Amino acid sequence: MVCWSESFAIQPVQPVQPVNNRGKVFSDRPDYIRGIRFLEEKHDMLWNDDYKMIGYYSDIICSGGVFSDYENEQLMKAVYVSYLSHLNHYRYSGEPYITHPLSVALILASSRADCVTIVAGLLHDTVEDTDLTFRDIFILFGYDVVKIVEGETKVSKLPKMRRGKDTLKRDQDENLMKMFIAMSDDWRIVILKLADRLHNMRTLQYMSPPKQVEIAKETLILFAPLAHRLGLWMYKVELEDLSFRYAYPEEYFDVSRRVENRKELFEENLEFAEKQIRSCLRSMDIRSYEIQMRTKTIYSIWRKMRDNSCNIEGILDLMAIRIILKENTTPFDDISMCYLVLGQVHRLWTPLPKTLKDYLSHPKPNGYKSLHTTVLINGYPVEIQIRTAEMHYVAEWGTAAHWAYKSDVSNRVSEEMLWLREIKEWEVESPSIFMERVRNELLGTRTFVFGPNGDIMNLARGTTLGDLVEGGLLTDHVMVNGVCQSLGYKMKNGDLLI
C-alpha cells in the first residue's frame, strides 16, 4: 500500500561529520570566482572537511541523472558558491546554514524543476544574508538566475515586515504588493518561495513559541492558499498541516486523536477495497497501474468539520483510494479507460448520490483532471479517484508539473498563470486595497460556473450577475439555470448560464 503522505517524504539533509584531520588546504581558486573578492576570501578559509562536504552536497544535487553535463556543472558551481557564501553561518538548530538552501533545492528537484530554478534555490539567501551581490550572481550564472533570486529576495523581506509593529501596517501591505508583482514577472519565483517556506516550516520547532504561532498563521493565511491556487497539492497539504499544528495546537491534537482512534478501521476497510480493485483491474486486463490510499489530512478534516458543522463521521471523503492508470496496453484511449474503470467501481459498490465529479470533461482552472466518486464500502463512505499517470503528476505539482513536459512548457504555463499576471493591471488606491483584492479574488474561495459557450468561468467569491454584465462577459439577457435572475444575484458553484 502506498500512502499519499509518504509519496512526498524527502529526507532531511544531514551535515557530513567532520573528519578528524581538519588540515588547511591550499588549493587553486576556481577561475569563475576570480575577481569576486568576497568569494576569494571565503575560499582561503576552507579546510579538508569543507571540501568533503562540498563534494557530498554536489553529489546529492546531481544524483538524479536528469540534467546535461553543462547543467550539472552549473549545479555544482552553485553548491560551491552557496557553501562559500554561508561558510561559518548556522541555523537556529545548530546545523550549518548550507543545509537550508540545499534542502530547498532538493524540494525543487522533487518537482522536476529546471536547472535555473534549482540554482536560484541554492543561492536564494546569499544576497540578503551575505556579501554576495546580484552583480556577482549575474557574472556567475546569468540573468535568469538573478531575476529569480532578486524576486525571491523581495518576497523574503515580507515575514520580517509582517511580524513588526502595528504601525508598520502600511509598509507591510506595500511589501506584500511588491511581492505579488515580483512573482507575476516569473512564476518560478512563486515556486521557489513556497519551497523555501516549506523547509522553514519543517524546522519551525527551533523558533520561539510566539514566532512559531506568527509564522504558522502567516503561512495558513497566505502561502498555503497560494500553493492551492497554483495546484501545488504536495506543497499545500504539508504547509497546512504543519501550520495548523503550531497555530492551533489544541485543535490539531484533538483531530489527530480522533483519526488515530479510527486508524485500524480505516486500514482494514482500505485494504479490503484495494484487493477488490486489484481483482477488478486484472479482469479488465489492466496490468500497469498504481493504487494509493489515504485518510484526509488533519487540517482538511478540521476545516470541513468547522464549515459543515459536523463531526468526523459526517465527512464523506475521510477515506480515499486513488487509481493511477499507467502504461495503457488496451485498445481504448486513456480517457475512455478512466470511464471504464469508473463503471466497474460502480458495479462493485453502491455510489452515493450527487458525489460523481467529472474533472475530465471539465478540468479545474489549474489543470487538475480526475474522476471522483464516493461509494459505500462495508457501510463506510470511501472516495475513489481515477486518473492517468500524467494527470496524477499535474494534480500533485500543478503549474510546476509542466517541467516534466518541456516541449510546450511556456505555452501551458502562460495560459494558467494569466490570473497572476493580471494583477499588474489592477488600478487600486492603496497597497491595503490591493492586498484585500489578492486575499479575496486570488487566494480566497473561488466560484466556478458554466458560461453560455460551455467554458468554466473562474470567478471571485461574491461575484454577481451584474458584475459579469458590466465587465462585458455576459449580456443582460442571460438566464441562470434557466431562470431569469436580478443583476444582484450572486453566482454559485455549478450555475449554468444560458
What are the catalytic residues? 128-129
**Among the listed residues 300, 307, 216, 286, the one whose alpha carbon sits nearest the alpha carbon of residue 255:** 300
292 neighbors 321 (Cβ within 8 angstroms): yes
Residue 476 CA, distance from chain mean position: 39
211 neighbors 220 (Cβ within 8 angstroms): no
Rounded Cα distance between 278 and 351, Å, is 19
Q: Which long-range contacts (CB under 8 A, 24 or more apart) does 403-410 make?
A: 403/111, 403/112, 403/113, 403/114, 404/112, 406/114
Coil, strand or helix: which one is 418?
helix
403 grid coordinates: 517541467
180 neighbors 225 (Cβ within 8 angstroms): no
Rounded Cα distance between 312 and 334, Å, is 35
Antiparallel, parallel or unpaired: β 380-388 and 319-325: parallel
441 neighbors 471 (Cβ within 8 angstroms): no
Q: Which long-range contacts (CB under 8 A, 24 or more apart) does 69-77 make?
A: 71/115, 74/115, 74/119, 74/141, 75/115, 75/118, 75/119, 75/122, 77/30, 77/32, 77/140, 77/141
Rounded Cα distance between 370 and 354, Å, is 16
